[in-house]
Structure 1
Amino acid sequence: MRLLRTLLPYLLLAVVLAVFPLVAPVSVVNVGVYVLIFTIAAVGLSLLMGLAGQVSLGHAAFFAVGAYTQAILVTRYDWNLFLALPVAILLAMLLALVVGLPMLRLRGHFLALATLGLGIIVTIVVRELEFTGGTSGIYGIPKPDFGGRVYNTPAEYFWLLTPVVLLAIALGNKLKNSRIGRALGAVNDSEVAAECLGVDTFRLRVKVFVLAAGFAGLAGAFYAHWLAVVSPEASNFPLSVSFLLMVVLGGLGTIWGAFTGAVLVEALDEGMRALIPQIIPGASGEVQLLGFGLVLVLVVILVPGGLAQLWNGLVRRVRGEREDPGADESETPAALGAELDDLLAQASPPPAGSAVLSVQGLTKRYGGVTALKALDLEVRAGEIVALIGPNGAGKTTAFNIITGVMPPTEGSVHISGQDVTGKRPNAVAALGATRTFQNLQTFTSTTVRGNVMVARHLRTKAGLLAGMLGLDTGEERRTAREVDGVLTATGLQQHADRPITALSFGQQRQVEVARALALAPTLLLLDEPMAGLSGAERDHLSLMLRRVREAGLSVLLVEHDVAAVMALADRIYVLDDGVLIAEGDPASIRANPAVIAAYLGTGEDDDQLVRSAAVQVEHSDGGDQ
C-alpha cells in the first residue's frame, strides 16, 4: 500500500502525458514540449534553491553549455545522440564545478550576482566565438532517430521526453528524502546548526550546484535537438528568470513544483506574447521580462510557498486539519528509560578524568573591544563543567570559538587532544563535540523526527548518487530505527511526527538537546538549555544530564539558572566582562565575594573586587578563588 501511494502520482502523470498529445491541438503540444524540456532544468534549480537555499540567476548558462555541446558534437563530428548526451551533461557539470568552488563561498545576493555574471559571460563567449557560430549559432541539428522512428513531430518528441521528465522528478524526490536531502534542508534552515551536527555545508552546496547544472545540461541537449538550432539566446538572462519563476511559482523545495511551475510559466509566456502587444503596441521582449518580474514579486509577497503552499492548505482544509495545531504547554515529559543508556553507549568517551576539552589563552577582539580575554578552561571526561556570568560576559563567544562558529583572535582549542583552533564546526563535530544554542536553531521545515535524523549524518554514509538511485534503503531503515530510539530515550516519542514549529519553546529546547545527543558525542556544549523550560522539563533535563555524566560523557554548560548550575556542575568557571574571575567547585563559587559582586554588586567597591579577582586568576595556576 505504501509503495502504491508513492508510485500513484507518477502513474497519474504518466497517463496524462501519454494522452495529452492525442487530445491537444498541435500548437498546444508544441508548447508542451518546451514545458517538459524546461521542467528538467527546473528540477535541478529546485534542488539548488529549495534545498540548498542558493539563488542562481545564471542557470541558463549551464543550459546553453549542454545545448552547444550537443549541437557541436552531432553536427560537426557526427556523434550519435546517445554518445553526445553524457558529454553535454558532463561539460555543464564541469563548468559548475570550476566556477562553483570559488562562487559558493559567497552568500545571499552576492552569490546571485555572481551567477548572473556567469550567465552574461557565457552569452558573450558563445556570441563572439566562431567555433560556436557567433550570433547566428549552430544550425542543422538533426531530430532524434532511433528504434526505427524519427522524433520530428511535437507528439513524437513529447512522448520521447515523457520518461525523461518522470525520471528527473523521481530522482529529485529520492534525493530530497535522502540523507543528503535532509542535510541540504537543514543547511537551508540553519547553516550553523547543521555544521555543528557534522554537515560539511560547503561541500554539499558544491555537489548540488554541480548536480543542478547536470539537469540543465540535459535539458539543453534536448532543446538543441527540438529547435534544430542553438543561438546565444539559450544562455540569456530572460531564460534564467523563467527558470527562477518556475521554481518559485511551483513552490521552493518541492520537486513536483518544477513541473507545475513550468506549465504555468509557459502558459504565462504564451499569454504575454499575445496580450502585451495589444496593450503596448510595438512592445519588445524586455516588456515581457518586466511582466515576469511583476509576477515573481507578486508570488513572493502573496504566496511565498508557491502553488505547493496553496495545495497543502487545500489538503489540510479537506482533511479538517489545522495548519498549526499549537503546542500543549502542560505536557509532562515522558520518563527516561533504558533506551537512554543504549544511546549514550554509542559514544566512545576517553578514560575518566582525561582532558576532553582544553582551552588556553582564548581571546576575541572586535576592533578595540575585547569580548573574551585569555580564557583558560578544561573539561575532563565524565564531568559537568559550568561557565557562568552576567549577560555580555563572553560565554556565548567562548562557545562559538570552541565549536568553530567563529575564529579566535588568540589562543588555542584542543578536543580529545587534537587542535581544532579556527576549524569549521563540522570538523569539531567529527571529533565528537556538538552544541545547542542560546537562540533556538531548529530545522523549521521538518518535523521533530526530521530534526533528529539530521543529527545522524555523521553516523551514516550514503552519498548523493546513492540517495538519488535509492541505494540507501537499508541505511535509511536503520537510521529511522535509531532515531525512534533517540526520541524514546529522550522522552520525545509522542512528538515525533509533529512539525517542530508546532511545539512550545520549551519542547523545542528539548528537541535541540535530543538532537545533540543523537550525534552520540563525547562532549556536549549546552548554551542556556533551561531557558523557557517548565519546572517538570527542567527536572527532566537535569536527570538526563546526570545520566550523561554517569555514562562517561562530558558537558560544558552555560546557564543563568544558578541553582540548577550549583546542583549539576562538578566545577564552575565564572566570567565577567570577558575575563575569568573565579574557578572552582560549587561550594567555593557560591561563597566567592567576587562572584557575588559580579552578579549583584553595583558599587565601586564591588567593581574593584571583581577586577582584583580577575587579576588574581590571571596570575595563578588555577584552583579555587
Structure 2
Amino acid sequence: MNAVLRRHAGYYLPFLALAAVLAVFPLVASTNMVNIGVFALIYGIAAIGLSLLMGLAGQVSLGQAAFFAVGAYTHAILVTRYDVHGLVAAVTAVLAAMLVALLVGLPLLRLRGHFLALATLGLGIIVSVTVRELEYTGGTSGIFGIPKPEFGGRVYDSPREFFWLLVPFVVVGLLMARNLVGSRTGRALSAVNDSEVAAECLGVNTFLLRLKVFVLSAGYAGLAGVFYAYWLAVVSPEAAGFLLSVHFLLMVVLGGLGTVWGAITGAVVVEGLDEGMKALIPRIVPGATGEVQLIAFGVALVLVVILLPGGLAQLWEMAVSRLRRRGSAREPGELPTVAVREGPRDDVPGTGEVSLADLLAEADVPERGTVVLSVRGLTKRYGGVVAVDDVDLDVRAGEILALIGPNGAGKTTCFNMISGVLEPTAGTIEVLGSRVEGRAPHTVADLGATRTFQNLQVFGSSTVLGNVKVARHLRSRSGVVRGMLGLAAREEKEIERSAMASIAALGLAQDADRSVTDLPFGRQRQVEVARALALAPRLLLLDEPMAGLSGAERDELAELLRRARDAGVAVVLVEHDVDAVMALADRVAVLDDGRLIALGTPAEVRNDPAVVAAYLGTDDEADDIVRHAAQEVR
C-alpha cells in the first residue's frame, strides 16, 4: 500500500509543483511579466489541445485558431448581446467549438498528412473571413465591452488576479491531458501512430478515436478563446487569423511533440521570446521595426528547432538520461537489471492472477467443429494480375489449418482480405456467420478475428507490455472522459494482468518493461503473437510466426498453438517451415499462383502430385523433407 501511495504521489507531484510555481509567480514578477504570463497561459491551454491532436492522434492542424475564435466570439456574443451569465456563456462557447469540430471533423479526418493540414488551413480562412464580413460579429471592429469575470465576489480585472484565475484551469487541463495520454484511448492512438493497420486489426477504430481527440482539442481551444475574450474585453478577426494558428503550432513543436508538458513549456518560451525580441532588437538595431523583430524571432525559433529537433522535451530527456546513467553506474562486467513483474502491482480486492487458459476462455468460442471462417470465391486482381483466384476455404473451431505455397502464391493477400486490410475483387468472407468482406479491420477484430504480420508491425514507441495492452482494447470500455478523469484504474489493472498472462506464455515476462525495438527480431515476432493472443481471439491468423525463432522457441510456440487449438480457437498458419507445418497442422491448404491446388490432412497433401510439383519439388532434398515430415505425423 505504501508503494501505491508513493507512486500516486510521484505522479501528481509535478502538477502540484507547477501549481505552486504559478501561484507564486505574480507575487515576485513585474506587472509587465505577469501580463506576458497571462497570454502564455491562455495560449498554453489551446496548445495543450493541439499537442493532444498532433502528438497523440498524429494529426497536423493549421486551423486551431478557428476553434479559438469560435469560443471567443460565442462567449462575447452571449454576454454582450444576450446578457447570459458568464459561466453559462463560457460552457456554451466551449461546446460550440467542439460542435464545430465534430461537424468539420467527420469529413476532414478521412484525409491524411498534408491534405488534412491544408483542409484545416482552409477552415481557419473560412472562419476568419466569416467573422470579418458579418455585421453580427462586429465586422472588422469585432465585439467590444466584454465584462471582466466575477467569481466569489471578486472581479478579476488585474493581471495578477487574472493570472491566478487561469492557474487552476491550466493545471487541471494539463493533468487531464496527461491522464488521457496514459489511458486506454491514449494507448490506442499511440499504437495507431506506430502502425495503423496493426492497431485496426486489434479492434481500434482509428477514425472514431481521432475524431474524439479532434473534438477534445477544439474544446481546449474554445476555452482558451473564452479567457482571451475576458482578458482583452474585445474579440476581433485576428483571433481567427492564420498567424495565431502558426503561433500555437510553434508552441507545440518547440515544446516537443508527444508530451503535453511541452505545450505549456512551449507557450511560455514562445511568448517570452516574442516579448523579449521586441525589447532586445531596438537596443541592438536602433529604430528597428516590427518586421525586424519578427525576423529575429523566427531565426531564434529556427535555431532551437535545428539544434533540438525533439523540442525542449528532448533537452529534458537528455538531462534526465544523464542523471540516470550517473545514478546507475555499474562495475565493469555487471549486467543491467531488468524489472520483472510477478503478478499484480497493487493489492486489489476481488482480483487475482490471470492464466492463459482464463484469457482464451474469454473468447467464448463456439462448439468444436463449428465453421468459424468461411471463404467462397475469394479473388483479388491488380489490373491484369490475379493475386488470388477463386479460393474456397472453411476453418473450424478447434483446428489448426496451415496455408502453404511458394513465395508470391497469394497467402498474405488472403490474410489481408480476411482481416479487412484489403477489399476483395470478388467473393465472400464470413466470420461466425457475419459477412466481413470489404469491412474495416476493427469490425473484423470485433468478431474475434485478429492476425500477425509477415513484415513486423510492432508499436515501436512502446514497451513489450504496452504493445500487448493494446490488444485488450476490445475487452475494456473506458473512454475519453473516464480516461481524462483518471477513473479507469481498476480496469487498467485488469488489462495489465491479462496482458502479462499472454506475455508470460511466450516467455517474455522479463522483457515486459523493455522497449520492443530493443528486442531481437525473433523476440519481436513473439511479441506480435502474444499481442494477438491477448485479444482472446476466436480466429487467429498467423503470418510466418516462426520466422527468426530458434529451435527451442519454435517448439514452445508450437505447443502454445496446440493449447490455443485445444481451447477451441481456430488457427490459420502461414509458414514456410514444412517440417513445422506437417507436425503441427490438422489440415493443410496449398496455394500456387493464387489458386487453391490442394486441401487435406498433412498425409494427403504431402503425396499430392500437384503439391510436389508446385511447392515441395522432386529433388532428393525435398524427398528427405517429405519423409521426415511423414515420420513426424506418424
Q: Same fold (TM over 0.5)?
A: yes
Question: Could you say which residue in structure 2 is the equivalent of 1:429?
Answer: 445
Deviation at 1:474, TM superposition (A): 2.0
C-alpha spacing 1:27/1:296, structure 2 compared with 1 (3 Å)? closer
Pairing 1:246–2:251 present: yes
Bigger drift between 480-489 and 144-153 goes to 480-489
Bigger drift between 73-82 and 214-223 goes to 73-82
Question: Could you say which residue in structure 2 is the equivalent of 1:492?
Answer: 508
The answer to whether the 8 Å contact 2:376/2:428 transfers is yes
- 3-state secondary structure, aligned to 1:575: strand
- 3-state secondary structure, aligned to 1:370: strand
Deviation at 1:360, TM superposition (A): 0.7
The answer to whether the 8 Å contact 1:404/1:422 transfers is yes
Question: Could you say which residue in structure 2 is the equivalent of 1:539?
Answer: 555
TM-score, structure 2 normalization: 0.89
C-alpha spacing 1:66/1:382, structure 2 compared with 1 (3 Å)? same
Question: Quick one: distance in 1 between partners of 2:309 and 2:420?
Answer: 33
Question: Could you say which residue in structure 1 is the equivalent of 2:38?
Answer: 33
Question: Quick one: distance in 2 between partners of 1:298 and 1:582?
Answer: 64
Paired AA for residue 21 in structure 2: V
Question: Quick one: distance in 1 between partners of 2:91 and 2:39?
Answer: 21
- After superposition, the C-alpha distances for 1:380-435 in whole angstroms (9 at most, x for unaligned) are 11111111122221111111110001111111100011111111111101111000
- After superposition, the C-alpha distances for 1:532-562 in whole angstroms (9 at most, x for unaligned) are 1122221121111111111111111111222
Question: Quick one: distance in 2 between partners of 1:290 and 1:588?
Answer: 77
Question: Could you say which residue in structure 2 is the equivalent of 1:100?
Answer: 105
Deviation at 1:256, TM superposition (A): 1.1
- After superposition, the C-alpha distances for 1:582-622 in whole angstroms (9 at most, x for unaligned) are 2222123223332233236699xxxxxxxxxxxxxxxxxxx
- After superposition, the C-alpha distances for 1:98-136 in whole angstroms (9 at most, x for unaligned) are 000000011111111111110111111011101111111
The answer to whether the 8 Å contact 2:403/2:588 transfers is yes
Deviation at 1:301, TM superposition (A): 5.3
User: Aligned runs of 1:457-606 on 2, under 5 Å?
Assistant: 457-599=473-615
Question: Could you say which residue in structure 2 is the equivalent of 1:446?
Answer: 462
Pairing 1:122–2:138 present: no
Paired AA for residue 255 in structure 2: G
Question: Quick one: distance in 1 between partners of 2:517 and 2:294?
Answer: 37
- 3-state secondary structure, aligned to 1:446: coil
Q: CA RMSD in A?
A: 2.5
- Match 1:201 to one of 187, 198, 206: 206
- 3-state secondary structure, aligned to 1:348: coil
The answer to whether the 8 Å contact 1:343/1:489 transfers is no
Paired AA for residue 597 in structure 1: A
User: Aligned runs of 1:368-383 on 2, under 5 Å?
Assistant: 368-383=384-399
The structure 1 segments of at least 4 consecutive aligned residues displaced by more than 4 Å after TM superposition are 274-285, 287-302, 600-603
Question: Quick one: distance in 1 between partners of 2:301 and 2:412?
Answer: 40
- Match 1:171 to one of 165, 168, 176: 176
C-alpha spacing 1:302/1:413, structure 2 compared with 1 (3 Å)? farther
C-alpha spacing 1:267/1:397, structure 2 compared with 1 (3 Å)? same
The answer to whether the 8 Å contact 1:434/1:524 transfers is yes
Bigger drift between 303-312 and 128-137 goes to 303-312
Question: Could you say which residue in structure 2 is the equivalent of 1:617?
Answer: none
The answer to whether the 8 Å contact 1:123/1:232 transfers is yes
- 3-state secondary structure, aligned to 2:596: strand
Question: Quick one: distance in 2 between partners of 1:270 and 1:135?
Answer: 26
Number of aligned positions between the proteins: 594
Question: Could you say which residue in structure 2 is the equivalent of 1:619?
Answer: none
- After superposition, the C-alpha distances for 1:236-260 in whole angstroms (9 at most, x for unaligned) are 1111111111112212121111111
- Match 1:356 to one of 372, 376, 392: 372
Paired AA for residue 415 in structure 1: V
Pairing 1:134–2:139 present: yes
Question: Could you say which residue in structure 2 is the equivalent of 1:399?
Answer: 415
Work out the percentage of aligned pairs sharing the same amino acid: 67
Paired AA for residue 453 in structure 2: F
- Match 1:347 to one of 325, 350, 363: 363
Question: Quick one: distance in 2 between partners of 1:362 and 1:123?
Answer: 51
Deviation at 1:291, TM superposition (A): 6.5
Deviation at 1:456, TM superposition (A): 0.7
- Match 1:389 to one of 405, 408, 416: 405
Deviation at 1:490, TM superposition (A): 2.9
Paired AA for residue 401 in structure 1: M
Deviation at 1:304, TM superposition (A): 3.6
- Match 1:17 to one of 22, 36, 42: 22
Question: Quick one: distance in 2 between partners of 1:75 and 1:186?
Answer: 45
User: Aligned runs of 1:289-304 on 2, under 5 Å?
Assistant: 302-304=307-309
Question: Quick one: distance in 1 between partners of 2:528 and 2:419?
Answer: 16
Question: Quick one: distance in 2 between partners of 1:310 and 1:33?
Answer: 25
Segments of 5+ residues of structure 2 without an aligned counterpart are 1-5, 342-352, 620-634
Paired AA for residue 592 in structure 1: D
The answer to whether the 8 Å contact 2:401/2:587 transfers is yes
Question: Quick one: distance in 2 between partners of 1:297 and 1:236?
Answer: 22
Paired AA for residue 597 in structure 2: I
